[in-house]
Amino acid sequence: MCDVRVRFAPSPTGDPHVGNIRTALFNYLYARHTGGKFIIRIEDTDQVRLKEGSDQAIFDSLRWLGITWDEGPDIGGPYGPYRQSERLDLYKKHALELVEKGMAYYCFCSAERLENMRKLQEAAKKAPMYDRKCLGLTKEEVEEKIAAGEPYVIRLKVPRDGTTEFDDLIRGRVSFENSVIDDQVLIKSDGFPTYHMACVVDDHYMKISHVIRAEEWISSTPKHIILYEAFGWTPPKFAHAPMVLAPDRSKLSKRHGATGVKEFRELGYLPEALANFLAFLGWAPQDEREIFSLEELAKEFEIERVNKSGAIFDMNKLEWYNGYYIRHIETRDLAQRVLPFLEKAGMQVKFDDYLVNCVALVQERMKTLAEAPELLDFFYELPEYDPELLIPKKSDRETTKLALEKCYQVLKGLEDWSHDPMEEQLRQASTDLGIKSGQLLWPLRAAMTGKSASPGAFEVTLVLGKEEALKRLENAISKLA
């Protein structure tokens, strides 16, 4: 039994997509579950789509989520290099070996000819496939063309009969007629390998045991298996995870809103929440638990339990997870995480006990870290507000003014600035005035916060401190004068 070695092989085209990261997560969890290795390989074979700085964006996103790897371009490993652009010779060498064996061939057809050919085939309602024009070239003709500097690609000669099958760990047996598989380009005219070539060669030399990737790769798998066979290599095991879809069931893309990990980070989602949510997109444990840390996921995750059908990325559920994690992490920790969002909103805030005390009061109301500024701003600066805000629905201006003045007296005389005596005396005060507690507490809360929705009156008053509380009461009373 061979050791488990799995890999995440993104192409560096920008901020990694949550769908890709879900695939990375599954690989990671499988590796950790089995005690195997998790490898990162950068597939930078498309010089056109390549985006500068993407490697870093990918590493950052994974690290942020808590995903660690055992081998990769940044940390090296025994089977490097882990960047395909640094392995070009290897691919070329193996492609030539296939040509030598008669299993691949040079093709000099122009893009225009290929395009015309496809159009004709489509018009004739036939599957568009390369017509093997260049397969008929003699060795001499090929050499002549190469010598003349004609651009060329190397194509795999796919058998025209028989079937290619594989046992997918998630889907069971999948079978393709070879006759529908095109003669895949292996080496492009710029000398770079195609995905199919590079991925097979690398997975072999990096001793990858399981290829866990998204469903969109199912129809490429037979091409890969044919390649493994051509080289005389044993293919790895395959597992094709379901797609991550948008609410309209199409592929999740930018027009549906946030799709990149970095975006979710900036939107104020916690890595714990995103990871937990993503793990549940296409996978679920046997029992009914919903909350899992990465460690717990690694313990429970089984590739055989991954679902077959596409999963819609439901923002509502993500938000719920996020709120849950916000409520359950340490308050000091939350305060720490909230700080950059407050600074970004232009608030003059530093990390201190006051901040922690404030955060404690909004912790169970916060769904994303990005909401922190609007939830906390009044603790630092009382916002402008309409005097009408002070007056509860079931009260009037006079009563409210009286209530506020009473609050002022009570708070001013309150020696023990703590919750229970404050509550006791304020409730007593409303009784004394012959009004309902709401007729006194709403105005107090509104005076303290300048908001219609906020944490409770006692809690806020307590945190603001006597001096500030009295100041805000004076301000409120003058508004009603």
Partner RNA sequence: GCCCUCAUCGUCUAGUGGCCUAGGACAUUGCCCUUUCACGGCAAAGGCACGGGUUCAAAUCCCGUUGAGGGUACCA
Which positions are catalytic?
Answer: 254
Helix 419-433 vs helix 437-449: angle between axes, to the nearest 10 degrees?
A: 130
Site for RNA in 2-41 (CB under 7 A): 9-11
Q: Applying CB under 7 A, does 414 fall inside the site for RNA? A: no
Identify which range of 27-35, 53-61, 124-132, 227-235 contacts RNA by CB under 7 A: 124-132
Write out the two tokens for 49: 């789509």
Among 207, 345, 438, 470, binds RNA (CB under 7 A): 438
Tell me the number of residues near RNA by CB under 7 A: 87
Among 33, 46, 83, 256, binds RNA (CB under 7 A): 46
CA distance 106 to 77: 34
Q: Applying CB under 7 A, does 458 fall inside the site for RNA? A: yes
CA distance 276 to 269: 12
Closer residue to RNA, CB minimum distance, 205 or 280:
280
Q: Applying CB under 7 A, does 390 fall inside the site for RNA? A: no
Q: Applying CB under 7 A, does 45 fall inside the site for RNA? A: yes
Structural contact between residues 283 and 239, judged by C-beta atoms closer than 8 angstroms: no
Site for RNA in 225-254 (CB under 7 A): 242-243, 245, 247, 249-251
Closer residue to RNA, CB minimum distance, 313 or 341:
313
Closer residue to RNA, CB minimum distance, 176 or 341:
176
Q: How many C-beta atoms lie closer than 10 Å to residue 438's C-beta?
A: 15
Q: Applying CB under 7 A, does 117 fall inside the site for RNA? A: no
Q: Applying CB under 7 A, does 317 fall inside the site for RNA? A: yes
296 membership: H or E segment, kind and range:
helix 294-300
Give least dist CB 60 to RNA, A: 19
Closer residue to RNA, CB minimum distance, 27 or 194:
194
Site for RNA in 132-171 (CB under 7 A): 151, 153, 171
CA distance 99 to 285: 48
70 membership: H or E segment, kind and range:
none
Among 60, 266, 290, 468, binds RNA (CB under 7 A): 290
Closer residue to RNA, CB minimum distance, 145 or 188:
188
Give least dist CB 110 to RNA, A: 6
Q: Applying CB under 7 A, does 400 fall inside the site for RNA? A: no
Among 137, 225, 312, 360, binds RNA (CB under 7 A): 312
For 171-180, letters b (16+ CB in 10 Å) and e give beebebeeee
Identify which range of 229-237, 274-282, 380-388, 408-416 contacts RNA by CB under 7 A: 274-282
Site string for RNA, 333-372 (x = CB under 7 A): -------------------------------xx-------
Distances in Å between the Cα of 266 and the Cα atoms of 11, 107, 270, 382 are 23, 48, 10, 26
Give least dist CB 67 to RNA, A: 19
Q: Applying CB under 7 A, does 203 fall inside the site for RNA? A: no
Among 68, 85, 178, 220, binds RNA (CB under 7 A): 220
Distances in Å between the Cα of 451 and the Cα atoms of 89, 142, 364, 403, 448 are 66, 79, 17, 18, 8
Burial of 3 (0-12, 13-18, 19+ CB in 10 A): exposed
Give least dist CB 314 to RNA, A: 3
Give least dist CB 350 to RNA, A: 25
Closer residue to RNA, CB minimum distance, 283 or 408:
283
Q: How many C-beta atoms lie closer than 10 Å to residue 79's C-beta?
A: 16
Give least dist CB 437 to RNA, A: 5
Give least dist CB 426 to RNA, A: 9
DSSP 71: B
- Between CA 38 and CA 43, with CA 40 as vertex, the angle to 5 degrees is 145
Ranges of beta strands (E only) in 123-228 are 153-156, 163-168, 172-177, 185-187, 210-214
Q: Applying CB under 7 A, does 281 fall inside the site for RNA? A: yes
Site for RNA in 47-106 (CB under 7 A): 48-49
3-state SS, residue 6? strand
Give least dist CB 341 to RNA, A: 18
Residue ranges in 66-137 assigned as alpha helix (H) = 88-100, 111-123
3-state SS, residue 281? coil
Identify which range of 27-35, 90-98, 120-128, 400-408 contacts RNA by CB under 7 A: 120-128
Give least dist CB 479 to RNA, A: 18
Write out the two tokens for 116: 């015309």
Residue ranges in 111-260 assigned as alpha helix (H) = 111-123, 139-147, 195-205, 221-231
